[in-house]
Copies of this chain bind each other. A is one copy, B any other.
């Protein structure tokens, strides 16, 4: 079994941003030389998400609106008693989930035609890490 690990760092200008990372993952897969297996992608922070969906700005704003309607920024969360102001970001991370697996077949990410991988930053403006780990043969 082969394994390849890479860390990406994001430092967004805005509190919330949605960043397409599909190309970065494809590059790591090429470096890994793995032909068959699984690529695991996860945020390493608890105020960010990773999901698979459309590279379409209308959808991205729909997603942001849905997350805000369920877990709005600025609400008086219990978590804020610690001095933090990012209670919404923790809940948004739960709702989107913070990790995905991508299948690798014949050296390629085996995705459908519209599947793009996104890093969803919910509490940005500081450095946050993401891990890519590809295993297979």
Q: Give me the interface of A with B, judged by CB distance under 8 Å.
A: 1, 3, 5, 36-38, 40, 42-46, 51-54, 56-59, 61-63, 65-66, 70-71, 77-82, 87, 90-91, 93-101, 103, 105, 110-112, 114-115, 129, 131, 133, 135-137
A135 contacts across to B, CB distance below 8 A:
36-38, 135-136
Nearest CB on B from A120, distance (A): 10
Q: In the complex, A94→B59 CA distance in Å? A: 11
**Copies of this chain per assembly:** 3
- Do B112 and A51 touch (CB < 8 A)? no
A136 contacts across to B, CB distance below 8 A:
1, 3, 135
Q: In the complex, A98→B118 CA distance in Å? A: 14
Of all chain B residues, the one with the shortest Cβ separation from A52 is: B98
- Do A38 and B40 touch (CB < 8 A)? yes
A133 contacts across to B, CB distance below 8 A:
38, 103, 105, 110
